[in-house]
A and B are shown apart, each in its own frame.
Chain A
């Protein structure tokens, strides 16, 4: 069955960088897009960016200068990198699979919590 699982550092100091990994199973990264979405504590959802099966990426323009999404198809892993972290980047970070040919998210990971604090 389809599964996604995020893993990250948990705590990062302000101005530092973040790297989160999404490990997937049950589908091929060459066939489906995977997006990153975050949710600050007690708040709503914000789409960050997507990497498509062919490797092309799109980012939320509000964060584009700080984001990078890549993947390793052979390892079934997608990577989110964000630099210049601030306290308002504290959030739950989710990876989510796209339905083929559509831009909604049919499967989500459990999320990984990131706290930006000194």
Chain B
């Protein structure tokens, strides 16, 4: 199984700051990576697919990058509605696995 290692596990940031979350796969996943946002008590929502493509309705302050085994999600100028947890997921063969998550908290 492909292991997804996500970092950091948690991050305390202020509104307006820029943050980067990273996800490392245990083998090359050829950009078959998605990012999800999950707010407290809600189901995850798709943010980015195929490593760099924003899902419909996702603000342009979000961006995804990476290739091979290393991927990143960047959020420019954090807004209050961006706080919550973020997960990466590979879709290069089953079982599809998720990173452990990054919890963004307000400083």
Q: Which residues of A contact B (CB under 8 A)?
A: 35, 44-47, 50, 58, 60-62, 94, 99, 102-111
Closest 5 CB pairs of A and B: A103-B91, A104-B34, A108-B43, A45-B98, A60-B95
8 Å CB contact of A102 from B44, B87, B91: B91
Whether B96 and A110, one on each chain, are in contact in the complex, defined by CB atoms closer than 8 angstroms, is no
Which residues of B does A touch, CB under 8 Å? 1, 32, 34, 36, 42-46, 49-50, 55, 87, 89, 91, 94-101
Interface CB pairs A-B, < 8 A, 20? A35-B96, A44-B100, A45-B101, A46-B98, A47-B89, A47-B95, A47-B97, A50-B94, A61-B1, A94-B43, A103-B94, A103-B96, A104-B46, A104-B91, A105-B36, A105-B44, A106-B46, A106-B49, A107-B46, A109-B43
In the complex, what residues of A have CB within 8 A of residue B97's CB? 47
State the main secondary structure of chain B at its contact with A.
loop
The complex places the Cα of A20 from the Cα of B44 at a distance, in Å, of: 19
Q: How far, in angstroms, from A110 to B55 measured CA to CA in the complex?
A: 19
Nearest CB of chain B from residue A27's CB, rounded to whole Å: 15
Of B43, B46, B91, the residue contacting A110 (CB under 8 A) is B43
Instruction: Chain B residues near A109: list those with CB within 8 A.
Output: 43
Query: Given contacts A47-B97, A105-B89, could you give 12 more A-B pairs where the C-beta distance is less than 8 Å?
Result: A44-B100, A45-B87, A45-B89, A60-B94, A94-B43, A104-B34, A104-B46, A105-B34, A106-B46, A108-B44, A110-B43, A111-B43
Secondary structure at chain A's binding surface: helix, strand, loop or mixed?
A: loop
Q: Closest chain A residue to B42 by CB distance?
A: A110
Chain B residues within an 8 Å CB radius of A62:
95
Shortest B43–chain A CB gap in Å is 4
Task: Say whether, besides A103-B32, A104-B34, A44 and B46 are in contact (CB < 8 Å).
Answer: no
* Option from B34, B55, B87, B91 in Cβ contact (under 8 Å) with A44: B87
In the complex formed, the residue of B with least CB distance to A4 is B43
Which A residues are in CB contact (< 8 Å) with B87? 44-45
What residue in chain A is nearest B94 (Cβ atoms)? A58
